[in-house]
């Protein structure tokens, strides 16, 4: 048993060591997803004004808070504008696989989603997104004179590494606060349908999954029930010998307790040994039974007269 435990412990240490040798790849949850610089007939802000905008995408499947993060822009060497996303605004929480729009109108006093810088399409523009500890989450560089009016520079698909100019064709459309690509079909489903036109394979697969799950549940409840039943039986059987031992101890305790007469005799012997005299009335000890003539109720009752 000791050898088995030692082997398991050493194996665990080996696994931990191997996993620590490979550095974990940390990927950002928040990404710069799409940028529009010249807004003539596109998305309007909450003031009804059309201005350049930057779209941030939450690629994770959990709600992510952007509060405290930084958006930075530079189109002039040595000059970088920084905007801190305010804390305390519940709207900075982006739902899973959703987008948020920041307006580059240079009016930060208009609200949380209004940046303190603007975008110039005639200059090469670098945009960076940093977390609360100034760690770079994502960045993109847009070449000068790349974007025209109502054209955006965005990822081919949400969260994908490839970028393209959108708005210059019907298949490449600008999509503020929406998916960069609408998938009208599912290649995996189409491939499965080609090999299983009648649907028998899908039916067999679904039924197999259901029966497998039911079988696992049955086995789980069966073994768990046996385990708890055995444990309850052991608990029920355990108190019997304990009770018997306690009863024996109680009997022994009672047997060892001496009677009142014994204690009285011991006390009298100690008194005589210390010089007391037995014939002195004050030293005479009289033992009276509890059921004596004085304590018996029958002694105080009137006797029945005899008939002659």
Confirm whether 136 is domain-assigned. yes
Same domain for 104 and 37, yes or no, is yes
The whole-number pLDDT of residue 246 equals 63
The residue written with tokens 């992510």 in the block is 64
Same domain for 115 and 230, yes or no, is no
DSSP symbol at 95: P
Q: How far apart are CA 11 and CA 6, in angstroms?
A: 9
User: Which residues span the domain enclosing 194?
Assistant: 185-237
Same domain for 127 and 192, yes or no, is no
pLDDT above 70 as % of the chain: 72
The whole-number pLDDT of residue 223 equals 86
Confirm whether 263 is domain-assigned. yes
- Looking at the structure of the chain, the number of domains it has is 3
The whole-number pLDDT of residue 280 equals 52
| Separate counts of helices (H) and strands (E) for the chain | 5, 11
Tokens of 15: 């696994």
Same domain for 163 and 233, yes or no, is no
The whole-number pLDDT of residue 238 equals 64
Q: How far apart are CA 27 and CA 30, in angstroms?
A: 9
CB 38 within 8 A of CB 156: no
Longest dimension (CA), the chain: 148
Confirm whether 15 is domain-assigned. no
Confirm whether 123 is domain-assigned. yes
The whole-number pLDDT of residue 33 equals 96
The pLDDT tens digits for 269-292 are: 877 777 655 555 555 556 555 555
Using DSSP bridges, classify how beta strands 163-166 and 152-155 pair: parallel, antiparallel or unpaired: antiparallel
Confirm whether 288 is domain-assigned. no
Q: How many residues does the chain have?
A: 308
Same domain for 90 and 203, yes or no, is no
- Find the CATH number of the domain harbouring 149: 2.60.40.1260
The whole-number pLDDT of residue 24 equals 40
The whole-number pLDDT of residue 252 equals 60
Q: How far apart are CA 91 and CA 224, in angstroms?
A: 47
Q: How far apart are CA 147 and CA 127, in angstroms?
A: 15
Last residue in a domain, options 165, 184, 203: 184
Q: Which residues of the chain have pLDDT under 70?
A: 1-27, 184-187, 238-258, 275-308
Q: Burial code of 163-198, b = ≥16 C-beta within 10 A, e = fewer?
A: bebbbeeeebebbbeeebbeeeeeeeeeeeeeeeee
Confirm whether 200 is domain-assigned. yes
Same domain for 34 and 112, yes or no, is yes
Same domain for 41 and 162, yes or no, is yes
The whole-number pLDDT of residue 27 equals 62
Same domain for 213 and 261, yes or no, is no
Confirm whether 19 is domain-assigned. no
Last residue in a domain, options 168, 184, 200: 184
Same domain for 131 and 42, yes or no, is yes
Confirm whether 111 is domain-assigned. yes
Same domain for 180 and 266, yes or no, is no
Q: How far apart are CA 251 and CA 243, in angstroms?
A: 12
Same domain for 37 and 163, yes or no, is yes
The whole-number pLDDT of residue 18 equals 42
Same domain for 69 and 212, yes or no, is no
Last residue in a domain, options 163, 184, 205: 184
């Amino acid at each position: 048993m000791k050898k088995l435990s030692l082997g398991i412990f050493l194996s665990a240490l080996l696994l931990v060591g191997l996993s620590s040798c490979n550095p974990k790849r940390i990927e950002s949850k928040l990404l710069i997803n799409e940028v529009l610089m010249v807004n003539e007939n596109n998305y309007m802000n909450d003031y009804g004004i059309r201005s350049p905008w930057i779209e941030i995408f939450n690629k994770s499947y959990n709600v992510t808070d952007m509060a405290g993060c930084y958006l930075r822009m530079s189109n002039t060497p040595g000059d970088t504008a920084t905007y801190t996303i305010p804390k305390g605004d519940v709207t900075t929480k982006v739902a899973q696989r959703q987008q948020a729009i920041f307006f580059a109108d240079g009016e930060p006093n208009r609200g949380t989603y209004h940046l303190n810088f603007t975008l110039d399409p005639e200059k090469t523009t670098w945009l960076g997104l940093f977390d609360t500890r100034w760690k770079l989450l994502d960045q993109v560089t847009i070449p000068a004179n790349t974007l025209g009016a109502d054209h955006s520079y965005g990822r081919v698909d949400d969260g994908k590494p490839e970028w393209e100019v959108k708005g210059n064709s019907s298949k490449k459309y600008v999509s503020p606060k929406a998916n960069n690509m609408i998938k009208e079909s599912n290649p995996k489903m189409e491939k499965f349908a080609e090999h299983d036109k009648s649907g028998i394979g899908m039916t067999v697969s679904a039924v197999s999954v259901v029966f497998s799950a039911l079988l696992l549940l049955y086995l789980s409840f069966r073994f768990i029930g046996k385990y708890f039943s055995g444990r309850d039986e052991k608990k029920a059987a355990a108190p019997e010998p304990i009770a018997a031992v306690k009863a024996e101890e109680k009997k022994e305790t009672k047997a060892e307790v001496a009677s009142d007469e014994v204690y009285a005799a011991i006390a009298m012997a100690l008194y005589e040994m210390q010089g007391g005299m037995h014939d002195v009335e004050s030293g005479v000890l009289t033992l009276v039974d509890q059921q004596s003539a004085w304590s018996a109720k029958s002694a105080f009752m009137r006797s029945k007269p005899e008939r002659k």
